Amino acid sequence: MRMRPSISSDEPPLAEVGASNLAANFPLSRRAEWLLILAVFLAVYFAALFTPSLLDDADATHAQAAQHMALTGHVVTLTVDGIRYLEKPPFPYWLVAIDYRMFGFNAFATHLPAALAILGCAILALLWGRRAYSERAAFYAALAFLTSIGVFLFTRIFIPEVILTLLTALALYLFLTGLEDRQPARFYAAYALLALALLTKGLIAPVFFLGAVLPYLLLTGEWRRWREFHLLTGTLLFLAIGAPWHILAGLHNPDQGQPVGNIPTPGNVHGFFYFYFINEHLLRFLGRRYPHDYNKLPGYLYWSLHMVWLFPWSLYWPATLYAAWRKNRAAGLRLTWEHRRHLDFSGKTTLLMALYAGFILLFFSISTNQEYYTYPAYFPLLLLTAMALAKLETQVVIEPAPEQAVDTRWLEVSQALFALVGVGVAVTLAYGLWESRHLPYIADIGALLAHRDVGGYSLSMSHFFDLTGPSFAALRLPALLAAGTLLVGPTLAWRMRARKQHLSATFSTAMTAAMFLVAAHIALVRFQPMLSSRAMANTINRVAAPDDMLLLYGDQSYGSSILFYTQRRGYLVDGRTSSMLWGSYYPDAPHIFLDDAELLGMWGHGPRKFLFVPPDYRDHVEALLDHRAYLVQELSDKELLTDRPLN
């Protein structure tokens, strides 16, 4: 099908610029593109699959659910420490359970699906950008997804956001190309992918998809082609894939007793349908979910942090937005209904991606949110950023004019700002290295932190503010790597930008980000003693007898990696909280929830007890046990105690 030329601007789109000019301004072959993208993926993401060990909290908690599936073959009801874990759909856990059967119970198997999803998103960005915009835009889009801070940061733990991102973005691509090429099979593939996205993150998957597609169809007038969408058969396919698990989960987890209201009591608890659809979806959106173990970012942080999560590519937003505003103003652009009906594939992609990103951002600005909830919006935002940057760079070279000089200055200012920040951070790191040059290396960095409790440790980078001089000595290698990268990379990119070597400048920025992420991963590994309790699990596996009891004080998430690596039942003292609460009230739930009196009653009697104590409970447990505990191991202010001396 022949695409109509865009009439949204008086200037010709990049697709109409001479092929020889475009080739001259993008010298990389497609083979070179693929090799560079694969190299970045291998260096930043694949190499990071092996370390650190699984982290406490969500990472190892979710891994336990997949581990239970792999060990028992029970794939309908997620289970953590023997307790129903009803709040998550199963698809990511199925993938990880398959990995466990192939590769064993380890960090590599746990995080492999997310890493492959990252690669899938980069490949999709490359293919979509190539078809919609240009070779340069496609290359930038793939690099942007692989080198943005947020993409890396929020895939260090086992959460499903990147899998959701790939499935929904691919569904949108198949929908748009199905319309463009009149290929009905692609609509069916989109329905299937949307069903898998439903099984990945719940109802927000079709909500996000429809939140972009419905306005797009209305604005472009393509709703008139609704017969081509195969709504009946497509919906049946969607339900055939997405509905069976929901039905089985409801049948396996019915109401118990006579639940009243939204607060469960022993033997009286709502079943899966109420908990999953009402409590976890509707009431979470409204901020009334029980238990209230989540928060909502302040508005200024919610919006401004996206500059951080999409850094360094967010550096180019001022330049690209200014260039777009100037050109639209000069052309007197008015996006009429006639314009919308005659958009080419490039214009359609831009409109759909803008609607998709905008809907997600507005949705979570109203709902309760966490920093990573808007992860699916990273793909459209980065694709649009790559398109705008590539167009700006190409037009500056192909169509030199006084106005283009202004656009170039905006790019140079953005690049200079990056260089300034890079030098500042490099100097700060160099100062820390110099001050800690005589300090000994201590592997347990958690014991050296200041514990400043910035943001109540609810922000992903809160522990960054806990660094001290002694703790810096444990970070010499990543600090040296980051300092060298930030000192050289941004400055080199600035010089290239000033010399109008735009491709080299942007590529240098991407490589700087990639090297920084490698350094960040090395630093994360150094934080393992604080963020993971695997060393304590290793101790238990070495000294404990099969009949010994494992107890954790507080919520199981505080020491969830111990449960994963020991594969033991954990008894939770004062731990009927958070995600374990609803499942704990089922009549057949194992008796793993203890109070202080029960702990005292069993301490020193019967099988040996090993008690994991997180930092916040140390004083309380010490007073409770009154010197009747024996220290087995201390790790980053966490303690592993036992009730009798080890032989």
pLDDT tens for 401-430 read 666 666 678 888 889 999 999 999 999 999
pLDDT tens for 24-40 read 467 888 999 999 999 99
Distance CA 560, CA 582 (A): 18
Overall residue count recorded for the chain in this entry:
647
Residue type, 381: L
pLDDT tens for 258-271 read 888 888 888 889 99
Give one DSSP letter per residue of 471-536, joined into a string.
HHGGGHHHHHHHHHHHHHHHHHHHHHHHTT-HHHHHHHHHHHHHHHHHHHHHHHHHTHHHH--HHH
Going by their DSSP bridges, the two strands 630-635 and 83-84 should be labelled as: unpaired
Q: Which of 369-373, 392-396, 401-405, 467-471 has the lowest mean pLDDT?
A: 401-405
Position 462 pLDDT exceeds 60? no
- Please give the structure tokens belonging to residue 540: 């238990």
Give one DSSP letter per residue of 30-98, joined into a string.
HHHHHHHHHHHHIIIIIGGGS-SPPPTTHHHHHHHHHHHHHHH---SS-EETTEE-TTS-SHHHHHHHH
- Please give the structure tokens belonging to residue 59: 């990472």
Predicted pLDDT at 20: 40
Distance CA 377, CA 410 (A): 25
Predicted pLDDT at 9: 36
* Residue given tokens 């970070």 in the structure block: 475
pLDDT tens for 539-589 read 999 999 999 999 999 999 999 999 999 999 999 999 998 888 889 999 999
Q: Which of 74-88, 255-269, 626-640 has the lowest mean pLDDT?
A: 255-269
The 3-class secondary structure across 263-282, one letter per residue, is CCECCEECCHHHHHHHHHHH
Position 358 pLDDT exceeds 50? yes
pLDDT tens for 207-221 read 999 999 999 999 988
pLDDT tens for 94-112 read 999 999 999 999 999 999 9
Q: What percent of the chain has pLDDT over 90?
A: 66
- Please give the structure tokens belonging to residue 443: 């592997």
Mean pLDDT across the chain: 88
Predicted pLDDT at 49: 97
Confidence of residue 10 (pLDDT cuts 50, 70, 90): very low
Q: In DSSP terms, which residues pair with 573 in a beta bridge?
A: 553, 594
Predicted pLDDT at 8: 37
Q: Can you tell me the mean pLDDT for 215-244? A: 93
Q: In DSSP terms, which residues pair with 593 in a beta bridge?
A: 572
Confidence of residue 456 (pLDDT cuts 50, 70, 90): low
H/E element, 230: none
Predicted pLDDT at 287: 81
- If one compares 337 and 481, the residue with the highest pLDDT of the two is 481
Predicted pLDDT at 22: 45
pLDDT tens for 486-545 read 999 999 999 999 888 889 999 999 999 999 999 999 999 998 999 999 999 999 999 999
Confidence of residue 394 (pLDDT cuts 50, 70, 90): confident
